Amino acid sequence: MEFKNLIFQVEEGVATITFNRPKALNAMNSETMSELYQAATICKNDDAIKALILTGSGDRAFVAGADISEMQNLRPQQALAFMELGHETLRLIETLPKPSIAAINGFALGGGTEISMACDMRFASDKARFGQPEILIGLIPGWGGTQRLARLIGLGRAKELVMGGDQIDAQRAYEIGLVNRIYPAEELLPAAKKFAAKMARLPGFALKMAKHSMNFGYDLSLDNANRLEMECCAQCFSTDDQKEGMGAFLEKRKPNFKGC
């Protein structure tokens, strides 16, 4: 499918969505967010797609934030609609039954940090920068920044970023748990593709259950979360891949998973 503001590619079971507004540092307007929703829906529904990567075009930005030129004169109801579109899109990515990686190649500010946090993992270039600077223009984060950030790095650190509006570099983001790995710029996308390809070869239903159990168990009581885990684990015993995986282990050979 062709998009105006995204590049959408699928190779060996891995979909790569590239934000492609380099002159605007890949800032997100409503059209781009709508396209992201469409692309994520394709990833959800296409069984040939096993994993997803989000990244930015050029070497300066992943997503430098929401497009201020579009937002400046919005009325409250229009702003709410824009926020709702962003939340719906990021929740779709967050709950995809497939793993996702944000390959953050530069600025990930405001909406850029929020988009990255909807992914399961964040791999960053050593040139990447993060932040929630909305307070500096009289706003607060509107696509989950006040919620997902605290869940990832703790309430105190999240308040520091949201209420102070400062940027942090990739190393600091790694230290506080916002990113999983840091790579030299030229190694970032190859590393993300290698890891995504590895996950694409793993049992898809088990990956789905692992993600579901962690996503939906996180806010439950421990007893209820453990019950969810048990039920998700039990469901894996309905698959051919479980039989193949255990059989291969006992026979001391590599498994041949088929995604069913």
| Catalytic positions | 114, 134
Contact 99, 196 (CB under 8 A): yes
What 3-state class would DSSP assign to 27?
coil
DSSP symbol at 135: G
Q: How far apart are the C-alpha atoms of 36 and 8, rounded to whole Å?
A: 10
The contacts of residue 190 (CB under 8 Å, 6+ apart) are none
Alpha helices in 126-221 (DSSP H): 145-153, 155-164, 170-175, 185-200, 204-217
DSSP symbol at 5: S
Tokens standing for residue 205: 């239903």
**In the beta sheet, which residues pair with residue 28?**
66
